[in-house]
Structures are given as structure tokens and as C-alpha cells.
Amino acid sequence: MAIRAERVSGDDSMQLDDERHETARQAVVIAERIDRQSRAPAPKAHESLVALHQPAGAAAEAFRGLYYALRRSVGGSPLGVLAVASAARGEGRSTVAANLALVAARETGRPVALVDADLRAPALHRLFGVDGEVGLSDVLANRADLEAVVYEHPNAHVALIGGGRPEAEPARRFTSPRFARFLAQVRGEFAETVIDLPPLACVDARLIAAQCSGVVLVVRSGQTEAQLARDSLEELEGARVLGAVLNGAAGLEAPQLRAARRALPPGR
Ligand SMILES: Nc1ncnc2c1ncn2[C@@H]1O[C@H](COP(=O)(O)OP(=O)(O)OP(=O)(O)O)[C@@H](O)[C@H]1O
Ligand SMILES: [Mg+2]
């Protein structure tokens, strides 16, 4: 993201001086952050980021398959803003979101934004081994600009926007004009953005999903009840569900996989 240093020059008007001072201050903060990032070695990422650690392995290949299946479901074009949803906690939303963003960036050679919208319990920064001091919650509460909270991964072409300071009741943030502005900004800068949602039991997940270009539903094999998965599709009424991921299906036999496919047809 470019820094408009030329906006920081003298002027007679006091108000403009104040504005320019603020612009200069923010430019310095951003420049320092980018400088720190570019000098820092790549942080130690969690082993579940298989697309980063073993890009040629079977698990990364499964995420590549998922990415291209999603692309096919939208006629081959870039995914725009894709939300990753699931019914309950611990079903693998963050793992799927992060690996999907990593393979998308690798396959297209373009930067992909990865956004942690689970503001009650932000987690993506930990997967990438970076501090979670500031992020989306700070942008939405007007405490920071988007440029100041983006973490550009040194090896992966992924621009991580962490959750930031946790919030207990974040729903109203996602109906605010600031969130609409945030979405417009990421749409303008990235052909593909992946958003990690809270569980669908939280109203914010539904509010965000309805504003995205598409949604993928994660169902955890042996954990998510079939009825709960069907209820989730109902809760996503109004959003564009592109398909579902059966996460952790490696141990399943072929007949069980066929049954799962019938229960959750990709696309609607
Ligand atoms: N396919 C898988 N195989 C093995 N472990 C997995 C798999 N998918 C996810 N996990 C593990 O399960 C745990 C929960 O995954 P993750 O954090 O991605 O889920 P989540 O839905 O985002 O959870 P939360 O609701 O807490 O945000 C993590 O420890 C993760 O490493
Ligand atoms: Mg999560």
C-alpha cells in the first residue's frame, strides 16, 4: 500500500495543517510498521497451515481442489469476498480460511486478503505467529486505519487483517457504514479476500455472510450433527452459498463420503 508522502507539505490554513499533521503521523506509523515487517524474519506459523509448510503435500492439494471447485462454481472468475462459515466452534473455519487464502495467493500469484471477523475470539494472528494487538475491530471502532493493521506475510502473498482487540458484542459493527467502507476497500485492492466468520449461532456471522460475494460452509466429519449442518444452510438464507467442505474426512469410507455428498450438495 503506497504512502502519499507528497500530501505532507506546508500550508497557511490551520485546519489543513492539522489534517496534514495527522496524515504525516499516520504515514510515519505505517512506514515504521512496514519497515519492521520487511526486516523481520518470517514468524513461525502453526503447523496447521499446511499450504505454507507443505505446499506439495496431500492436504495442500485438497485445499487447491477446494479453491478450484469454488472458482468453477462462480464461472471461473476470482472469488471476490468469500466467507468461511460453520455451525459451531472448533469445526475448522480458521484452518480452512487460512489455507484457502494461501493456496489462492500461490495459484494466482496475486496478493489475497485474509480477514479475521471472529471478533469475540480472534485466532488467525496466532496461526501466523504474529501479534494480535490491532486489527479489524480497531478499524471498525475507528481506532485505526486499514493500512495500519495489515500484516503482509513475507513469503506468502497473503495480507492478514487480524481480529484486533476482542469484543464481546460485535454484531452492530457489521451493520455500520465503516464495515461497508472496509469491504469496499478490500474489494478495491484485492481480487480475492477470505473472511473467517464466527460460528453461525452468532448473528454477526449471518450479517457478514449476507454482504459477501459467496460463502462456503465447513462441516466437521464426526463432529457436526447433520441436522445442525442443514439448519446452517437455512441460517445462510440470503447469502450465496457456493458449497460445503467436509473437514477431516480422511478416515471415512467411500459409502460414507457418498452419503455426506448427498446430504450437503455443493452449491444451491
Ligand atoms: N482436518 C483437520 N484435521 C485435524 N485437525 C484439524 C482439522 N481441521 C481443524 N483441525 C484442528 O481443530 C482445531 C479447531 O480448528 P479451527 O481453529 O480451524 O476451527 P474453528 O472453527 O475456527 O474454531 P473456533 O470456533 O474456535 O474459531 C484446531 O486445533 C485445528 O488445528
Ligand atoms: Mg476460528
Q: Which region among 17-21, 44-48, 167-171 has the lowest average model confidence (pLDDT)?
A: 17-21
**pLDDT score at 235:** 93
The domains of the chain are located at 1-40, 48-263
Q: Give the whole-angstrom CA distance, residue 129 versus residue 28.
A: 24
Ligand nearest to the CA of 99: 1
Q: Which atom of ligand 1 is the closest one to the Cα of 98?
A: 18
Measured by CA distance, the residue closest to atom 9 of ligand 1 is 92
Query: What is the pLDDT of the chain when averaged over all its residues?
Result: 88
* Contacts for 72 with CB less than 8 Å, ≥ 6 apart: none
- Set of cell numbers at residue 253: 469410507
Distance 89 CA to ligand 2 centre (A): 7
Distance CA 225, CA 88 (A): 10
Which phi and psi (to 5°) does residue 190 adopt? -130, 135
Q: Which ligand is nearest to the CA of 46?
A: 1
With bands split at pLDDT 50, 70 and 90, how would you rate the model's confidence at 23? confident
Say how many Å lie between the CA of residue 220 and the centre of ligand 1. 9
CA distance 174 to 36: 31
Predicted pLDDT at 10: 44
Q: Which residues line ligand 1 (CB under 6 A)?
A: 48, 86, 89-95, 118, 121, 123, 199, 247-248
In this prediction, residue 29 carries a pLDDT of: 74
| Cα separation, 138 vs 171, whole angstroms | 14
Rounded to the nearest angstrom, the distance between the alpha carbon of 110 and the centre of ligand 2 is 24
CA angle 55, 254, 249 (to 5 degrees): 45
The b/e string for 17-41 (b: 16+ C-beta within 10 A; e otherwise) is: eeebeeeeeebeebeebeeeeeeee
Q: Which ligand 1 atom sits closest to the C-alpha of 88?
A: 25
Residue 106 has pLDDT above 60, yes or no: yes
Which ligand does the CA of 224 lie closest to? 1
Share of the chain above pLDDT 70, in %: 85
Residue 248's SS3 state is: coil
Provide the Cα torsion 229, 232, 238, 239; round to 10°: -70
Q: CA–CA separation, 239 vs 80, rounded Å?
A: 14
**CA-to-CA distance for 263 and 249, rounded, in angstroms?**
14
- The pLDDT, as a whole number, for residue 251 is 65
Pocket test for ligand 1, best of 46, 94, 245 (most atoms within 8 A of CB): 94
Rounded to the nearest 5 degrees, what angle is found at the Cα of 8, between the Cα atoms of 7 and 13? 95
Give pTM, 2 decimals.
0.85
Cα(189)–Cα(159) distance, rounded to whole angstroms? 11
State the pairing for strand pair 241-247/80-86.
unpaired
d(CA 45, CA 196): 17
Q: Is the pLDDT of residue 7 over 70?
A: no
Closest listed ligand to the CA of 220: 1
Residues pairing with 247 in the sheet = 220
Lowest average pLDDT, out of 121-130, 169-178, 180-189, 253-262, goes to: 253-262
Q: List the grid coordinates of 247.
A: 473437514
Query: 152 C-alpha vs ligand 2 centroid, how far in Å?
Result: 20
Those residues whose beta carbon sits under 5 angstroms from the ion ligand 2 are 93-94, 123
Closest C-alpha residue for ligand 1 atom 2 = 248
Model pLDDT for residues 28-71, shown as the tens digit of each residue: 777 777 677 666 777 899 999 999 999 999 999 999 999 999 99
The pLDDT of residue 260 is 63
Whether 5 has a pLDDT exceeding 50, the answer reads no
Cα–ligand 1 centroid distance for 84 (angstroms) = 13
Q: What is the pLDDT of residue 129?
A: 94
Distance between CA atoms of 159 and 153, rounded to whole angstroms?
A: 6
The whole-number pLDDT of residue 17 equals 77
If you classify domain 48-263 with CATH, what class do you get? alpha beta
CA 93 to ligand 2 center in whole angstroms: 5
For residue 32, what pLDDT is reported? 75
* Whole-number Å distance between alpha carbons of 98 and 175: 25
Q: Which amino acid is at 124?
A: L
Nearest CA to ligand 1 atom 31: 48
pLDDT band at 256 (very low <50, low <70, confident <90, very high): low
Residue of the nearest CA to atom 25 in ligand 1? Answer: 89
